Amino acid sequence: MFHMGWFLGMGFGVYGWNQPWSGNVASDIANPQLFVDMATSLERAGFDYMMLEDSSVIPDIYGGSLEHSLKVGVVRHDPMPLVPLLAAATSKLGIVATAATTFYPPFLAARLMNTLDHITKGRVGVNLVTASPHAAAQNYGLDKHVEHDLRYEMADEWVQVVKALWDSWEPDALIMDEERGIFADHNKVHRVDFEGQFYKSRGPLNTVPSPQGRPIICQAGGSAAGRNFGAKHADTIIAAVVGVEEMKAYRDDISERMISFGRKPTDVKVLFLISPIMGDTEGEAQAKADRMAAAQAANLEGNLAAMSYFTSMDFSKFDLDAPMPDLSKNNGHQSTMNDYAKSGPTLREIASKHRTVESIPLVGTPESVSVQMGEAMEYAGGDGFLIGSPVTRKSITEVCDGLAPALRRRGLIRSSYSYDHFRDNLLEF
């Protein structure tokens, strides 16, 4: 059996603006109901978690202007307040929201995630990113963003502080003895007095230990520094690589790194991104895939804007018919750009490739897609998949009421949850 998650690639943002099947998106901006409906569907389908991406910037790198971003609706509301709403509508689903370590003071994050772990009754997770655009850093008062590998060094120390704060109460510190009038044992609540190279915190947390003790940590980002960070700290890693060979290599690489950090490879679940395109028949699915590829190829501007965002470099300035500039050491998303660079000889070709986020291309009926997923997972030795498809109520239904039952009929995903807490379900198999 493997695990399933859904990556909401636009966080608490706008889904389906000006697209078919988008519902009432124009009047429903910032309405949480789509996400609540989605959470209940994912739980019906037996998913481990729903993961909300986040960023803190309206990108203006492409063409040096906000124009493109505001034409297509690149906005993000804060995902954290969504978490309790999603938890209230569900009882087993894990809920992961993204936080940038570079910008969140560790104490604020430790306290927030502890509180959310209580409110969700042990079902919260945090996706730790270091963020990339300079503009985001400037929103938080920095002159420019921190260099790529240094960001991960800082993130590593950040996690140490946060974990120390989560552990600042011993698990049995809470006594709640009304007769003796003792709420907690002060001998079991400790100052942290963390003083590192980048962060300082006194502690203890002024909250009580949460159901999971430490909320789930999720990580994405495949550079060497990113992989080390995930191998050291994450409970689940989400990966966007291309093809089963790379999936296998990624899982093996994470396992090796985990062992070098003294962890068991089974302590982390590596989920690979897919965006299945499904229809009632193979022909219908293929026709849909062809339409999507054509639309993507025609959207050169959108693709160049995305690449500008990932690299913090203005792609409107490059010659489209020249080879892709070497961006392997850019200060943004290094692994994402390495994958892009592999997809064609010229920038024009690279920017006009059909680019759903996917580790294996999946086109077919729910039945045939479920077979391919089973085969790929068996070969790659990963722990499951993360759906990265565009979010509409239609795509949610295709996955939750078409694909998930097909996977379940093959015994590939769970038919019910064994536990109440996110970590216990995640580590069950």
Ligand X SMILES: Cc1cc2nc3c(=O)[nH]c(=O)nc-3n(C[C@H](O)[C@H](O)[C@H](O)COP(=O)(O)O)c2cc1C
Binding residues for ligand X (CB under 6 A): 7, 53-55, 98, 127, 129-132, 220-223, 226, 238, 240, 273, 333-336
Residue matched to tokens 């809920």: 95
Please report how close the Cβ of residue 19 comes to ligand X at its closest, in angstroms.
21
Please report how close the Cβ of residue 343 comes to ligand X at its closest, in angstroms.
16
Please report how close the Cβ of residue 69 comes to ligand X at its closest, in angstroms.
15
β-pairing, 174-177 vs 182-184, is: antiparallel
The residue with its CB nearest to ligand X is 226
Please report how close the Cβ of residue 134 comes to ligand X at its closest, in angstroms.
13
Please, how many CA atoms are within 13 Å of residue 215, restricted to the half-sphere of its CB? 29
Please report how close the Cβ of residue 241 comes to ligand X at its closest, in angstroms.
9
**Nearer to ligand X among residue 45 and residue 240 (C-beta):** 240
**264: β partners:** none
Mutual orientation of helices 334-341 and 300-311 as an angle, nearest 10°? 140
**Nearer to ligand X among residue 48 and residue 53 (C-beta):** 53
Please, how many CA atoms are within 13 Å of residue 322, restricted to the half-sphere of its CB? 7
Q: Which two tokens stand for residue 287?
A: 């026709």
User: Which amino acid is it at 336?
Assistant: T
**Nearer to ligand X among residue 45 and residue 155 (C-beta):** 155
**Nearer to ligand X among residue 55 and residue 201 (C-beta):** 55
Instruction: Give Cβ neighbours of residue 390 (< 8 Å, ≥ 6 apart).
Output: 15, 16, 19, 275
Please report how close the Cβ of residue 132 comes to ligand X at its closest, in angstroms.
6
Please report how close the Cβ of residue 329 comes to ligand X at its closest, in angstroms.
10
**Nearer to ligand X among residue 239 and residue 350 (C-beta):** 239
| Widest pairwise Cα distance in the chain | 79
Instruction: Give Cβ neighbours of residue 233 (< 8 Å, ≥ 6 apart).
Output: 128, 156, 159, 217, 219
Please report how close the Cβ of residue 171 comes to ligand X at its closest, in angstroms.
31
**Nearer to ligand X among residue 59 and residue 402 (C-beta):** 59
**Nearer to ligand X among residue 109 and residue 173 (C-beta):** 109
Q: How far apart are CA 119 and CA 274, in angstroms?
A: 31
Instruction: Give Cβ neighbours of residue 308 (< 8 Å, ≥ 6 apart).
Output: 59, 61, 62, 314, 315, 316
The DSSP result for 170-189, as a single string, is -TT-EEEETTTTEEE-GGGB
**Nearer to ligand X among residue 261 and residue 419 (C-beta):** 261
CB 292 within 8 A of CB 277: yes
> Is the preceding omega at residue 204 within 30 degrees of 0, hence cis?
yes
**182: β partners:** 177
**Nearer to ligand X among residue 203 and residue 221 (C-beta):** 221
Please report how close the Cβ of residue 131 comes to ligand X at its closest, in angstroms.
4
